[in-house]
Chains A and B, each alone.
Chain A
Amino acid sequence: MSPLVSIRDLRVAFSGVPVLRGVDLTLGKGEALGLVGESGSGKSVTWLAALGLLPRHARVSGSARLDGRELLGAPASQLDQVRGGRVAMIFQDPASALNPVLTIRRQLSEALALHRNLSGEAAKAEARRLLDLVGIPDAARRLEAYPHEFSGGQVQRIMIAMALAGNPDLLIADEPTTALDATIQAQILELLSTIRREMNMAMVLISHDLGVVAENCDRVAVMYAGRIVEQAPSNQLFADPVHPYAQGLIGALPPLDGPRRRLVAIPGTVPDPAHMPVGCAFAPRCAMAAEACGVSAPKLAPIADDRAVACIRAEASRRALLGIAAE
């Protein structure tokens, strides 16, 4: 099956400072892909760049194709059809993600007019149906309300309703629950997975929370300093991480059950994008770094079916982790 999205060697620089340094990623139809990494690793920038949503001073190169059609450098009219139509996006901060001076009805109707050619009563009826679908009580009346009259969780539901307005094939959820309380986070994640199942929609879930990604995605890509360092089916990644950074992330997560152990903290901090190390960007923090790591950056290379790692010691660290002696 041909992929829905295929990204090749995507690079982004802001005023000469590289923030995305060659990302390769494919996404199948209906697939749920998780993107984890710390702030500044390029998780969001990847998708903002693919959809042409970065500010003008960003320099973008490489390729991002949707159903084989190139998005980078595509004319604005074509991108406007894709955005909100084939690919919808929701963001982290519910409080400021909706226009404060427009009613919910107007903001929903706008998307319905653009992508479904609905207007007037038809748009209003559909807007109401969408609000019902995402679980906003008393939808008919609430249509005329403004964003500030809703709680954070409800605004995120409205954002999801707006994203669904164009019947997209792909929903990109950028930290959709980070600003929400735990019990509300659970509600939103459940809503997302129900909707995804029912509409057979692909989803990219961007999160710094490994647990959120693990539970809601089929496959996970771990990003570090503008590159993907490991890619694997989510159950395999969490059971058996290969890249030392992925191992570190999992080791740094305090367990909620079982015996307490001292957390495995990754020493140091993320490198400054303006002064990237020559070789592997993680090498300065890596316990297993060797001389070769400082020479050239490792490529993302397959190590098994559907698994790829960017680490020259992938094999060695894998053995170390599993405690397997050389056979």
Chain B
Amino acid sequence: MSPPLVEVAAISRSYSMRSGMFGRSTAVHAVDGVSLTIRKGETLGLVGESGSGKSTTGRIVLGLEPPDRGEVRFDGKPMAATGTVAWRAQRARMQMIFQDPLGALDRRLPVATQIREPLDIHGLGTAAEREDRVRELLRAVELTPAHGARYPGALSGGQRQRIVLARALATKPDFLVCDEPVSALDVSIQAQVVNLLCDLQAQLGLTLLFISHDLRVVRQISNVVAVMYLGRIVETGSADDLFARPEHPYTQALVSASPAPGRRSAGRIVLAGDPPNPAARPKGCAFHPRCPRAIARCASEVPTLSAVDGDRQVACHLVTGTQARDAA
């Protein structure tokens, strides 16, 4: 097994949020004690609904915002303090891709200029070398130099996301955080970008943190998957196994809710209640008000994430190691 590149140890982050115009501010625990390990060259898929804290986790891992508690280690070293030389060197090795490529690009500049920008910023290579690198990057994302001369408005959604990807790869990063990178794309284009990401990862040995609400895309691209609910990881394990045999009642509901051609909705688990509100976190297991199997203990005691079987970890009072083995 390859050594870990990113180690996240019990990070927490809360914001104070005002409810309404005259409301009092309350603390919102966006991320609450999340630990993750991403091994070199692998992909960790982070799954959850809105308010689960998956994007905040991504931003903390990338050092875009500091955790209140806990630590992120990159390649064995703790994240350097923001603005220092060491931080800058570290940041060049990690990049991020967002959902909305049009928002991430400057409409007034040709896209090739924007791909070159990180090279200019980090002062990598001579002018000629930078031009070569831009052409190489465009080729890597399966576009031509002609595309590079265009402005973002003249490209399709899929092409724009390729440009964003090319720009992210410009500094030859080791680690890429992708936050819903294909969610805004049509299915056929989504498949192009997912394939491209897989190919690039294999060629360049990239390590990915892939954040998405789309279970199918996450399974396609990830080695390991972590499922988040209201700021905590409720289940984690290897991708194929987790989706084939979800243990946590929430993961089971998520997998069951994912519509599949050729399967009618019979036997679907439909959760009651609204999506969770991070500002009003239930006591005990945060999922218990919507859980079809909740017992009294769930309302009072927060379950911890513990190993049940192989590499699977589940945070649920109803799922224990022995039980999981019995069921298997």
Q: Chain A: residues with CB nearer than 8 A to chain B?
A: 38-39, 151-154, 181-187, 189-190, 193, 208-212, 214-216, 234-235, 238-239, 248-257, 260, 262-267, 269-270
Q: Which of A190, A208, A251 lies in contact with B265, CB distance below 8 A?
A: A190
- In the bound complex, residues from chain B placing their C-beta under 8 Å from that of A184 are 49, 274-275
Whether A151 pairs with B195 at a CB distance below 8 angstroms is no
> Of the 9-residue stretches B22-30, B119-127, B251-259, which lies at the interface with chain A?
B251-259
Chain A residue at smallest Cβ distance from B52: A181
Report whether B219 and A254 are in contact in the complex, using a CB–CB cutoff of 8 Å: yes
Name B159's closest neighbour in chain A (CB-CB): A269
Chain B proximity of A207: nearest CB distance (Å): 9
A265 to B49, CA, bound (A): 27
B291 to chain A, nearest CB (A): 12
Q: List 19 A-B contacts (CB under 8 A).
A: A153-B275, A182-B257, A183-B49, A183-B253, A183-B290, A186-B268, A186-B269, A189-B265, A208-B186, A211-B261, A212-B259, A215-B261, A234-B261, A249-B187, A256-B215, A256-B216, A262-B198, A266-B188, A269-B189
Nearest first, the 4 closest Cβ-Cβ pairs linking A and B are A211-B259, A252-B191, A238-B261, A254-B220
Tell me the interface secondary structure of chain B in the complex.
Answer: helix
Inter-chain contact A255/B216, CB cutoff 8 Å: yes
Q: Which of A208, A214, A269 contacts B187 (CB 8 A)?
A: A208
Once the chains are docked, how many angstroms separate the CA of A264 from the CA of B188? Answer: 8
Whether B99 is near chain A, meaning CB under 8 Å from some CB there, is no
> Would you call B217 an interface residue if the criterion is a C-beta within 8 Å of the partner chain's C-beta atoms?
yes
| Given A254-B216, A256-B255, A186 contacting B260 (CB threshold 8 A) | no
Is B188 touching A182 in the complex (CB atoms < 8 A)? no
Q: How far is the CB of A57 from chain B (nearest CB, A)?
A: 22
Using a CB-CB cutoff of 8 Å, which residues 234-268 of chain B contact chain A? 240, 243-244, 253-265, 268
Question: Cβ of B188 and Cβ of A265 under 8 Å apart?
Answer: yes
Select from chain B the residue with minimum beta-carbon distance to A193.
Answer: B265
A252 near B275: Cβ-Cβ < 8 Å: no
Contact B220 A211 (CB under 8 A): no
Could you say which residues of chain B place their CB within 8 Å of the CB of A234?
Answer: 261
Partner of A182, one of B189, B254, B261: B254
Residues on B with C-beta less than 8 A from A214 are 259-263
A181 CB, nearest partner CB in chain B, Å: 4
Q: Which of these, B192, B213, B255, B261, contacts A181 with CB under 8 Å?
A: B213
Q: Which residues of B contact A267 (CB under 8 A)?
A: 192
Cβ of B35 under 8 Å from chain A: no
- Distance in Å from the Cβ of B277 to the closest Cβ of chain A? 8
**Minimum Cβ distance to chain A for residue B42 (Å):** 14
B144 close to A (CB within 8 Å): no
Task: Find out whether the CB atom of B264 lies under 8 angstroms from the CB atom of A153.
Answer: no
Cβ contacts under 8 Å, A252 to chain B: 187-188, 190-191
| Chain B neighbourhood of A251, CB < 8 A | 191
Q: Is the CB of B215 within 8 A of A181?
A: no
How far is the CB of A19 from the nearest CB of chain B, in Å? 16
Residue of A152, A209, A269 touching B259 (CB-CB under 8 A): A209
B240 contacts across to A, CB distance below 8 A: 260
**Chain A residues with CB below 8 A from B243, complex form:** 256-257
Determine the distance from Cα of A184 to Cα of B271 in the docked complex, in whole angstroms: 8
Q: Which residues of B contact A (CB under 8 A)?
A: 49-50, 156, 158-159, 186-192, 194-195, 198, 213, 215-217, 219-220, 240, 243-244, 253-265, 268-272, 274-275, 290
Which residue of chain B lies nearest to A153 when distances are taken between CB atoms in the complex?
B274
Q: Which of B50, B240, B253, B259 has the most CB of A within 10 A?
A: B259
Q: Which of A152, A256, A265, A269 contacts B191 (CB 8 A)?
A: A265
The minimal Cβ–Cβ distance linking A140 to chain B, given in whole angstroms, is 19
Q: With a CB–CB cut-off of 8 A, which chain A residues contact B188? A: 38, 248-249, 252, 265-266
Pair A215/B275 contact, Cβ less than 8 Å: no
Closest CB of chain A to B268's CB: distance in Å?
Answer: 6
- Across the interface, which residues of B come within 8 angstroms of A248, CB to CB? 188
* Contact B258–A190 (Cβ < 8 Å): no
Determine the residue in chain B with the shortest Cβ distance to A212.
B259
Chain B residue nearest to A255 (CB atoms) is B216
**B219 partner residues in chain A, CB cutoff 8 A:** 254-256, 260
Given contacts A254-B220, A263-B191, are A183 and B271 in contact (CB under 8 A)?
yes
Contact residues in B for A186 (Cβ distance below 8 Å) = 253, 256-257, 268-271
Complex contact A256–B260 (CB within 8 A): yes
Distance between Cα atoms of A186 and B275 in the complex (Å):
12
CA distance A149 to B257 in the complex (A): 26
Residue in A closest to B187 when the chains form the complex, CB atoms: A252
13 new A-B contacts, CB < 8 A, other than A210-B187, A265-B191, are A38-B186, A38-B188, A151-B274, A181-B213, A182-B49, A211-B259, A256-B243, A256-B255, A257-B244, A260-B220, A266-B188, A266-B191, A270-B186
Query: In whole Å, how far is A92's beta carbon from the nearest beta carbon of chain B?
Result: 14
Question: Chain B residue with minimal CB distance to A266?
Answer: B188
Q: Tell me which residues across on chain B come within 8 A of A210, comparing CB atoms.
A: 187, 261
Interface pair B265/A215, CB less than 8 Å apart: yes
Chain A residues near B265 (CB, 8 Å)? Answer: 189-190, 193, 215-216
Give the chain B neighbours of A262 by CB distance below 8 A. Answer: 195, 198
Q: How far is the CA of A215 from the CA of B268 in the complex (A)?
A: 11
**B189 with A263: CB separation less than 8 A:** no
Contact between A263 and B259 (Cβ–Cβ < 8 Å)?
Answer: no
Most buried by A among B50, B158, B186: B186
